[in-house]
Structure 1
Amino acid sequence: MTQQPVSPALVSALAPEGVLRVSINLGNPILAGRDRASGEPAGVSVDLAREFGRRLGVPVELTTYDRAALSVEAVRADRADIGFFAVDPARGEGLRFTAPYVLIEGGYLVSDASPVTGNGEVDRAETRISVGSGSAYDLFLTREIRDAEIVRFPGAGPALAALRSGEVEVAAGIRQLLEAEAARAPGVRVLPGRFMVIQQAMGTPAGRGQAAQDLLAGFVEEMKAAGFVAEALKRHGIEGATVAPAG
């Protein structure tokens, strides 16, 4: 694909240490995980990070985190130059997001014995909903849930385990992860439909300047339009996530 030259000033704004420091969230396996053979980070967000580093003409340094909240904080605190996370108003302070590059559905998991059959039945008194603390769906449900209790766990794994152990009545999460959990062992089922669409975007510290933010935003739009994101999803065998429309 055609590459427009990036000015030295913009390269310095986005990679002030001469290397592009990238925050990668391994808590969302739709976008990143570890290669089974090498153990190195791999996935759609990793591919985008390496391509952006190539555009800037600088090496790429990946730092991985097990939870989205930790990945977000690394960028907000200027320990990383770019990151990959869901757009949410609660994350806006100190960060600037691009338009989303991938859309992912958020859903609910319940036990087979649960009388709940639809998403609209979840927000009720005496219902406990487990979430990964600081995740996009945690932030969303914190704003939207009125009667149910939100119970936070350090990641998706413990949140799903809480449902099977009976600590909660509902587990919220990325739909693909819930479907995988339901397929892993009997006893739970995914409610039909979705309660939110998670918009996965790139972000950079707010202090990097408008020109740097515009460059990153333009990169995301080009990667969507050129088919890079779609090809990466296919290459990594990701199903259920869709390329976001033009921003």
Structure 2
Amino acid sequence: MTRATDQARADLAPEGHLTAAINLGNPVLAQGDPQQPGGITVDIAHEIATRLGTDLRFVCFDAARKSFDALVSGPATIAFLAVEPARAREVTFTEPYVLIDGVYAVPDASPHRAPADVDAGGVRIGVKEGSAYDLFLTRTLEHATIVRGVDGTTVFAEQSLDVAAGIREPVTAYVDANPGLRILDEPFMQIRQALATKPSTHPATTTWLDGLLDELLAGGFVAEALRRSGQSETLAAGRVR
């Protein structure tokens, strides 16, 4: 068992408790409500608190950018975020524990057949503001226009956009519920979900967290937590380091 160090307790539970920011806006990672959150991120937070020997508190949000803010300038001492360069300037990341596809949805009549087709002049893409795929597309698209909203599919429908961007599982559910749409099966990105801590975190604490994640992945904890929350076990990351 990966045992906690005094340094990890000082970094992650400076007031005697671990405070985990949970993004309920990503249904792959968390489900439920602020009063009773569940899912893989909640299970991992419980495991970390157990190893630290501390109490656990949750602060729940409906968007990753809010979890990020809670970690950078709020009460959270740990968050579950996708690794992105813009975020890595302000927080410390572990290696990923879950890998999620970012995909596009388009009308059936759309000429777009692959992600590369979407980056063209006049194409408008709906994204969830501040999401990992918003950050990724902002730094990689050269011609298409990004339109931000509370959710990629919502702004896509509200403004009759050309493309909706999002994570595969909820975008698939949206397409299934709305005839006349299809998914571009090839992902436009792989979203690397990791643990994030404050930038002041000592490297030894990050090493401890990575060792814990290695253990949870190798022992099947992550796959089982995904399955238990209705998600695919195949989302668990391979950790060869």
Instruction: Confirm or deny a common fold (TM above 0.5).
Output: yes
Task: Name the CA distance, whole Å, in 2 between partners of 1:108 and 1:48.
Answer: 29
Matched AA of 1:191: L
Contact 1:94 1:207 in 2 (8 A): no
**Does 2:154 align with 1:161?**
yes
Q: Give matches, 1:59-74, under 5 Å.
A: 59-74=55-70
The 3-state SS of whatever aligns with 2:95 is: coil
* Residue 214 of structure 1: aligned partner: 207
Task: Name the CA distance, whole Å, in 2 between partners of 1:39 and 1:238.
Answer: 21
Q: Give matches, 1:213-232, under 5 Å.
A: 213-232=206-225
Quick one: which of 97, 108, 113 aligns to 1:117? Answer: 113
Deviation at 1:161, TM superposition (A): 2.4
* Residue 13 of structure 1: aligned partner: 11
Query: What stretches of structure 1 move > 4 A for 4+ residues in a row?
Result: none
Q: Flag the 1:73–1:149 CA change in 2: closer, same or farther, 3 A.
A: same
TM-score (norm 1): 0.92
Matched AA of 2:90: G
Contact 2:127 2:155 in 1 (8 A): no
* Residue 49 of structure 1: aligned partner: 45
* Residue 34 of structure 1: aligned partner: 32
Contact 2:128 2:149 in 1 (8 A): yes
Task: Name the CA distance, whole Å, in 1 between partners of 2:20 and 2:60.
Answer: 8
Deviation at 1:165, TM superposition (A): 3.8
Q: Percent identity?
A: 42
Q: Please identify, of 93-102 and 237-246, the stretch whose mean Cα deviation from structure 2 is larger.
A: 237-246
Number of aligned residues: 240
TM-score (norm 2): 0.94
Matched AA of 1:220: L
Q: Flag the 1:3–1:88 CA change in 2: closer, same or farther, 3 A.
A: closer
The 3-state SS of whatever aligns with 2:232 is: coil
Task: Name the CA distance, whole Å, in 1 between partners of 2:195 and 2:61.
Answer: 16
Contact 1:176 1:240 in 2 (8 A): no
Matched AA of 2:56: V
Contact 2:101 2:167 in 1 (8 A): yes
The 3-state SS of whatever aligns with 2:185 is: coil
RMSD of Structure 2 on Structure 1 (CA): 1.7
Task: Name the CA distance, whole Å, in 2 between partners of 1:75 and 1:39.
Answer: 20
Q: Please identify, of 55-64 and 70-79, the stretch whose mean Cα deviation from structure 2 is larger.
A: 70-79
Q: Please identify, of 92-101 and 236-245, the stretch whose mean Cα deviation from structure 2 is larger.
A: 236-245
Task: Name the CA distance, whole Å, in 1 between partners of 2:39 and 2:89.
Answer: 27
* Residue 71 of structure 2: aligned partner: 75
Deviation at 1:3, TM superposition (A): 4.9
Matched AA of 2:203: Q
* Residue 201 of structure 1: aligned partner: 194
More strand per residue: 2
Deviation at 1:43, TM superposition (A): 0.2
**Unaligned residue ranges in structure 2 (runs of 5+):** none
